[in-house]
Amino acid sequence: MTAYATGTAEEAARFHELLTSFEGQPAATAGRGKDAVNEPMIRHWCEAMGDANPAYSGPDAIAPPTMLQAWTMGGLSGHTDRSSAYDELFALLDGAGCTSVVATDCEQEYLRPLRPGDAVTFDAVIESVSPRKTTKLGTGHFVTTRTDVRVDGELAGTHRFRILKYAPAARRDKPTVRRPRPVVNRDNQGFWDGVRDHRLLIQRCTSCATLRFPWLPGCNACSSPDWDTVEASGAGTVFSYVVMHHPPFPAFDPPYAVALVELAEGVRMISNITGVPYDKVRISLPVQLEFLRVDDDLELPVFRGNEG
Ligand code: ZN
């Protein structure tokens, strides 16, 4: 625990009073949307969200209300209109040891629809700073910023954004946690029996010969419940991958690569890549099956990368 988190209630109240003097001060003023409300951004948003509401296309289209913040975002080049009050507030919190920040939630209110062609302006105000709070992450203050979005001077919506600026809690020693166990059931028992014998078994439909992975009770191609197995050669390539940095899960030590491996037989499976640093994993990297002894009760099929 930092000194800040263990300060007396009186000290905390005094500091909070100082912080509340920022309430009502601007966080950003006279902001302008970089682009007017426009159809391409609406279309990309709807595709990304899978939202096919007909109100968002056609000659009378409106923008999805939840895009409100999108029209105020600075993009990679950012905005230059952050106020000195906001910077001073952050400097005070940093100085007290609240050096970490996490976004907690946002709330929006919609007063009128936005339509292609609307040019958006916005002002943001530091709406509230909470008293000292202690959360699992640490001890600090919630800071709520309200952005008022206008078109032609008329309020179109408000966007409240809340962060926790906090002093991180001291990390406890990690308890020894075992890696999660796979769920073995009658539908995938054969797969795990194969792993025990160091064989990677792929299900094959005996009606139409389609291979399938992961194991399922029936064939997706022809619905037949009848199957046998073929043993994978173990050769494959990385079809796609992610590098896990955060959040940390017990028993895993980030960063590490999680790959979708395409086996030579054509099916894909998710596993870890071994033998190659996480930042050297690449799409199309050749890999070879091996079995990783995790602990006394668990062995897993993983793939050793070959950097060539
Ligand atoms: Zn089939």
Q: Which CATH class is domain 3-168?
A: alpha beta
CA of 241 to the centre of ligand 1 (A): 29
Q: How far is the CA of 230 from the centre of ligand 1 (A)?
A: 14
Residue 265 C-alpha to ligand 1 middle, in angstroms?
16
Query: Residue 236's pLDDT band (boundaries 50, 70, 90)?
Result: very high
| Residue the block writes with tokens 């960063």 | 255
Whole-number Å distance between alpha carbons of 171 and 1: 9
CA distance 235 to 265: 9
The CA 223 to ligand 1 mean position distance, Å, reads 6
What are the start and end residues of each CATH 3.10.129.10 domain in the chain? 3-168
Ligand 1 centroid to Cα of residue 208, in Å, is 4
Per DSSP, the residues of 81-113 read -B-HHHHHHHHHHHHTT--EEEEEEEEEEESS-
pLDDT tops 60 at residue 3: no
Ligand 1 centroid to 204 CA: how many Å? 8
For residue 226, the CA-to-ligand 1 centroid distance in Å is: 8
Q: Could you give the 3-state DSSP secondary structure of residue 114?
A: coil
Distance (Å) from CA 289 to ligand 1 centroid: 26
pLDDT, tens only, 44-63: 999 999 999 999 999 999 99
- Please give the distance, rounded to the nearest whole angstrom, from the Cα atom of residue 221 to the centre of ligand 1: 5
Q: pLDDT, tens digit, for every residue of 59-101?
A: 999 999 999 999 998 877 776 666 788 889 999 999 988 999 9
Q: How confident is the model at residue 1 (pLDDT cuts 50, 70, 90)?
A: very low
